[in-house]
Amino acid sequence: TAEVGVYNAAIPTAKLILILPTAMIGLFIPTISEYLDNKTQLKRLFYITTKWLLIINLFFISMAIIFSQNILNILFGSQYIAGYIALTILISGYFINGLVYTSRDILMLLKKSKIILIATLIGGTLNIMLNYYLIPIYGFNGAAVATAISLIVLSLILFIKTRIETKIKLINLKLIKVFIVGALSALTTYYIITKITIQNEILLIITGTIIMLIIYPIALYITNSFEKQDTTIMKTIRNKLK
């Protein structure tokens, strides 16, 4: 019962990382639907959307992993800190799952919802099987691994199917560069935080967030990760919010 309680604290906390992908896709689906027959424009919009999902979610996953223990302590209490490993694993799974939201919705627009059902059934079945095997051995950490693996498998199926249906190359060196920049920025932030002595956990998280917000954009700018076409996403968001 105690382990279930800890796990039930980690799961909803990890799912918070899906809020932004859900919101962004809600803004872009109408625009994406207009270009289903225009492969050039669809490829461009798909790339921009995926890139910004990656940029923004890398920030949130970095903060969540760096401060996983602090977050659980603040939200649920010290008895739930033991779930920080499970939280980190779950966040990683949901992070990857959030990146394929664009792929999922493109398949829906192409009326390929059957593959979404099949992928979900495969992911769900795999989750049950892995839970059955891993929980008796590793407890709630095993449950987290099972969920993360099933999410990754689900995401890969949708990812590959979108590639087949649209003939769009979904991974390129620019996206890989953004990921590397985000990871290095997070490691730098973590290193700086370990050198700072702040007892108040909320203040510590705020300080880490400010540091990451300084380092990350500068690193993206220095590595030329921002492109002219990125203004498209800004204009789209601005127009949708009017």
pLDDT of residue 236: 62
H-state helical runs in the chain: 2-15, 19-34, 39-66, 68-76, 84-99, 101-109, 113-138, 140-166, 173-194, 201-222, 231-241
pLDDT digits (tens, 9 = 90+) for 1-15: 888 899 999 998 998
pLDDT of residue 68: 93
The average confidence (pLDDT) of the chain is 87
pLDDT in the model for residue 235? 66
Q: Which pLDDT does position 69 carry in this prediction?
A: 93
pLDDT band for position 150 (50/70/90)?
very high
Label residue 230 by pLDDT band (50, 70, 90). Answer: low
Q: What is the pTM of this model?
A: 0.86
Return the half-sphere exposure (C-beta side, CA atoms, 13 A cut-off) of residue 229. Answer: 10
Residue 127: what pLDDT? 96
Reading the block at residue 144, the tokens are: 């987290």
Look at residue 37 in the predicted model and tell me its pLDDT: 74
Using an 8 Å Cβ cutoff, are 48 and 229 in contact?
A: yes
Burial of 55 (0-12, 13-18, 19+ CB in 10 A): buried
